[in-house]
Amino acid sequence: MAITLNGTTGIDIGSTTRGMVEASWTTAGRPATPSAGQFGFNTTLAAVEFYNGTAWVPLQAATYSPYTASYLLVAGGGSGGGSSPGAVAGGGGAGGFLTGTTTLSVGTVYTDL
């Protein structure tokens, strides 16, 4: 079954090669009285756009800026050795820390930084 509407309401459902095709127009040929939520393909911009009730807004591929994360890792030192009467024990190990900044990207799993 195929459904085809022509003009700026163009839709083609059921075609084995095209699937669903939204309306298309040029920037100068946009619908004169669009409804909020109406969308179509602007051939001038080569982008899908929608009317938000006030203006035509192009839809763009989602882009995400990388995140910058600062970190501080603090580790405690080891304890000193025990002493028995007449024995001298060594001191404990020193603690440590690691600090820095790294860039994290959306969709990436981090197991070791």
Please give the model's pTM, rounded to 2 decimal places.
Answer: 0.41
Give the closest residue to 106 by CA, choosing from 51, 65, 55, 70: 65
pLDDT score of 46: 86
How, if at all, do strands 39-42 and 24-25 pair? parallel
Minimal CA–CA distance to 93: which of 75, 108, 68?
A: 75
Identify whether the C-beta of residue 31 lies closer than 8 Å to the C-beta of residue 45. no
Residue by residue, pLDDT tens for the chain (113 residues) are 455 555 544 555 555 555 566 788 999 999 989 999 888 889 998 888 989 999 998 887 656 677 888 888 787 766 666 666 666 666 666 677 778 888 887 778 877 65
Surface-to-core class of residue 71, CB atoms within 10 Å of its CB (0-12 exposed, 13-18 middle, 19+ buried) = exposed
> Phi, psi at residue 99, to the nearest 5°?
-140, 150
Q: Which DSSP symbol is given to 27?
A: S
Tokens representing residue 10 in the block: 């163009």
